[in-house]
Amino acid sequence: LIPLGKELDSLRAIKEKEEISLIKKATRIATQGFLELKDTVKPGSRERNLAIELEHQLKKRGSGELPFEIIVASGPRGALPHGVASEKRIRKGEMVIIDFGSRYKGYCSDETCTLLMGSPTRRQKKVYQIVKAAHDKAIDFIKPGRKASQIDEVAREHIRQAGYNHGFSHGLGHGVGLAIHEEPLISPDSSTVIEEGMVFTIEPGIYLEGWGGVRIEDMVVATREGCRMLTQVSKEMGSIVPKQC
């Protein structure tokens, strides 16, 4: 018997049109559910209650079993890249990382938004804009034939030049499909070369102990000329404050 794990992983990394269509449907479910939740978020909300409500909104719109436990990490807890929702109440002025996904006919979505409970401080605005620029530069750089490690470096170098390299502690992204984490990995030591049809996340973040964090995550599919965004929630600075804040 010959192990075929790596070969199968490589085959799964490139999605057929039908698979991309199912992933797109999963992202639409996630968008609708998140936007329904977003404008109910306000100071005093409990992280865990928001996670429960978001799960309800996703499943109400057709999601199957969620691909991972929803992350809601507010204030200093935002420094935890995988800070699952706690009993903590969100406070005015805090940033709130919400990482969520849906599953449709077996295919997953993955997206992270960082919300702000009021007007940004100078530091909050600066850190958010650094992460957003790193995210945008990486997406603009994506093209078949380029290495996953090069894409990671584009975002990482921007954060490094801004003086926050110590705050970016994980790879830039990962493939998404039938599993929430699959090939290609977008990381400093990845040897993968991007090919048309690969679906993966771009998710730079800055995490500062005692202060909090910012992560912006979108899913893209590599196309002949570059890439196309699959996730749909706006990550622009002007859109991250819920109506009730």
Average pLDDT of the residues in 38-57: 98
Amino acid identity at 227: C
123 pLDDT more than 70? yes
Confidence of residue 109 (pLDDT cuts 50, 70, 90): very high
- Residue pair 22/176 in contact by the 8 Å Cβ criterion: no
The owner of tokens 């449907």 is: 25
> Helices 47-60 and 17-38: crossing angle, nearest 10°?
130
Average pLDDT of the residues in 162-168: 97
**Domain coordinates of the chain in residue numbers?**
5-239
Of 5-9, 25-29, 49-53, 133-137, the poorest mean pLDDT is in 5-9
Average pLDDT of the residues in 223-230: 98
Which pLDDT value is given to residue 12?
82
Which pLDDT value is given to residue 167?
97
What architecture does CATH give domain 5-239? Alpha-Beta Complex (3.90)
For residues 181 and 81, give the distance between their C-alpha atoms in angstroms, rounded to a whole number: 16
Output the six-digit token pair for 38: 């977003």
3 pLDDT more than 60? no
Model pLDDT for residues 58-99, shown as the tens digit of each residue? 999 999 999 999 999 999 999 999 999 999 999 999 999 999
Average pLDDT of the residues in 188-193: 97
Q: Burial level of 186, CB count in 10 A (0-12/13-18/19+)?
A: buried
Which pLDDT value is given to residue 1?
54
11 pLDDT more than 90? no
Which pLDDT value is given to residue 4?
45
Confidence of residue 9 (pLDDT cuts 50, 70, 90): low
Identify which of 198, 148, 195, 194 has the alpha carbon closest to the alpha carbon of residue 173. 148
Confidence of residue 6 (pLDDT cuts 50, 70, 90): low
